[in-house]
Amino acid sequence: MTKSKSTMLFAVLCLTVASAHVFRAAAQSRTSPPPKTESELLTVLDNSIWIADGKPSDKQIYLIAGPCCGYSQALYYRSRQLGNKVQLRWIEDPWPKDQRCLGYVAEAAMKNDASVLVDMYRAHAAPESVPQGIKDNAIQWNSDVFETVLAFRQVSSMPFPTAVWLSKDGVRIAERPESLDAIAQTVAPRPEAANLTPASRRFLSAEYHFESIPRRIHAAYSGGTKVFSQPASSSRLLGYLDKDRGNPAKGRVTVGNETWIELDLGARVVFVRESEVRPQQ
């Protein structure tokens, strides 16, 4: 009986979360245009802070979930029989802004293993202590993922959990699936994403130092360049920067030992390694 009551409380909290996201997402969507392509959307998910559930596989299902959500907990239990058919990648959204829920997001970022899922969904253990810098960066990254998926779909809200995967017909999205068995049968292979290291994890412990620079036009080197957002509310994750178009630079940011240029792409702002762009004469 106790377990049933606990699940009901989690479910109520999850419904509250979905409602709260309507307002949060609507405020962000006015300044956060969606990715242009399905490939860009997958880039966002690939480089988010996800928890690997299962062995590396060329087939993946991303699950945007809530660490304090009963529906997410239920899907976790119902997905235990999948085995190694696919790798599940849980992206825990930092909402609601409850310290316990935020703590799970930070623990997932720091530990990077499936034991966090057990802590959240089975044991309901208190989240482990995480340095504040890592916690802040993790929250920013995964908040941006949620908003980016909303913008891509052109919707104002999205319940937990939501599954995103690549099928032979393109990217598919399912809100609050009862089971992942049927979905797993439709996942198309992405061998290039089987063993990737998310860009987000490389920057989790970094400190960010911003400075102003002259607003010169910068362009990518031949072939374009892969760009990743930084943990800043203005940045977005994209695929490739167009090498034939110049974009005004807004500033420079030093992240660890790397220097990035902040480029203004009109409705979007991205950060790209300084070594991969050049100012136009």
Given this model, what pLDDT does residue 86 score? 97
Ramachandran class of 223: left when φ > 0, alpha when ψ lies in -120 to 50, beta otherwise: left
Given this model, what pLDDT does residue 27 score? 38
Ramachandran class of 112: left when φ > 0, alpha when ψ lies in -120 to 50, beta otherwise: left
Given this model, what pLDDT does residue 245 score? 81
CA torsion angle 227 228 230 236 (round to 10): 90
Distance CA 124, CA 134 (A): 22
Instruction: Walk along the chain (281 residues) and give the pLDDT tens digit of each residue.
Output: 334 444 444 444 454 444 443 333 433 433 445 677 898 899 889 989 999 999 999 999 999 999 999 999 999 999 998 978 899 999 999 888 889 999 999 999 999 899 999 999 999 899 999 999 899 889 888 888 888 899 889 999 999 999 999 999 999 999 999 999 999 999 999 999 999 988 888 888 888 888 999 888 998 887 666 676 666 666 666 667 777 788 899 889 888 788 888 888 776 777 888 888 888 86
Q: Estimate the share of the chain in helix, then strand, then coil, as percent rounded to the nearest 5.
A: 40, 25, 40
DSSP character for 193? G
* Helices 99-111, 132-153: crossing angle, 10 deg rounding: 100
Given this model, what pLDDT does residue 5 score? 42
Strands 208-212 and 247-255: antiparallel
Given this model, what pLDDT does residue 255 score? 81
Record the tokens describing residue 27, joined without a space: 């405020």
CB 196 within 8 A of CB 228: no
